[in-house]
Amino acid sequence: MSATLDHLFDQNVAWASQKTREDPQYFRRMAEQQAPRYLWIGCSDSRVTANDVLGLDPGEIFVHRNIANVVHTSDMNILSVLEFAVDQLKIEHVIVCGHYGCSGVNRAIAGEHSAMLDNWLLPVSMFYRKHRATFDAITDDVERVNRICEINVEMQVRRLAATPIVENAWLRGQTLHVHGWIYAIHDGLLRDLGPHVSSIGERDRLPSIDQMVLQPTEAESAMRRQAIAAFGAIDVTDPRLHACCPSGRIHNS
C-alpha cells in the first residue's frame, strides 16, 4: 500500500483554516494578483526559505532556488525564471542569497565527482581550485567554507549581472537592482555582502571576483548597520558628552 502523506494534508487544512480565521480575505487577495517587487535566487537548503527569512507573505517575492545558489548562464530553468521576473513581473530587485555552512559549497570543495551534482557545482569547485592556496590558508574548516560561501555569492551576482536579460533591462531604462546577501542559520540574520549593481556602468566597474578573494567584504547585518548609524549620529563635539572633563577634553587612560 502506497503512503499518502495524510498528515501533511491535515496540516494543510489546519493552516488554511488558521489563515482564514486571522484574515478572511487572505486567499482572495492571493488569488487575484501576483505583483512581487523582488526575485530571490537562493539555495535549496530546507532551512532557508525566502518568505520566512524576510517576513513576507506569499505574492510579495518571486523565488528560484537551487543547490548552492549558482547562476548557470546556460541553465534554462534559472534563465526562464529571471526573464519572467524581469520582463513580465517587472521586479525591481534581484537578490542572490547564499548561506553560511552551505552543504553545496562543502561538496564543491571536497573533490568528489558525480554526473549531475558536481557538474552543477563546477563554477564553485573550479574557483576554489584556482585560489586554493588562499582559501587553504584559512586553517579553521568552518571559517574556510564560510569564506567560500561569501565569495560564491559575489561571483553569482557578477554572473547574473552579465546575462543579456539583465543587461537588456538596463539598456531600455528599466529600474533593476542586483544585490548579494548571505544568511546565517545560527542567528537568523541576513548580512549584506554586496555588490549592489543598478546599471551596466556599475557592473563594469566592479572589482574582479579574483580581486575579491584578496580583498574580502565585511558582511553587515541590519543590526550592525543600525548600531553604526546610531554611533555616527552622535556629535562628539557636544560638551555635554564631556562634562566630567575640563575644557571638554577627553583624556585617554
Q: How confident is the model at residue 248 (pLDDT cuts 50, 70, 90)?
A: very low
pTM for the full model? 0.84
Host domain of residue 45 = 15-224
In a domain? residue 2: no
Evaluate whether residue 167 is within a structural domain: yes
Q: Is residue 142 part of a domain?
A: yes
Quote the strand ranges of the chain, DSSP E: 38-43, 61-66, 93-99, 177-184, 189-192, 220-221
Residue 153 lies in a domain: yes
Cβ-Cβ contacts under 8 Å for 185 (sequence gap 6 or more): 47, 48, 99, 100, 101
For the domain that residue 152 is a member of, what is the CATH number? 3.40.1050.10
CA 57 to chain centre: 18
Mean per-residue pLDDT, 69-78: 96
Is 87 a domain residue?
yes
Q: Are the beta carbons of 69 and 48 closer than 8 angstroms?
A: no
> Hey, which residues are catalytic here?
43, 45, 47, 99, 102
pLDDT of residue 29: 85
Q: Which residue has the higher pLDDT, 213 or 246?
A: 213
* Confidence class for position 1, pLDDT limits 50, 70, 90: low
Q: Within 13 Å of residue 120, how many CA atoms lie on the same side as its CB?
A: 15
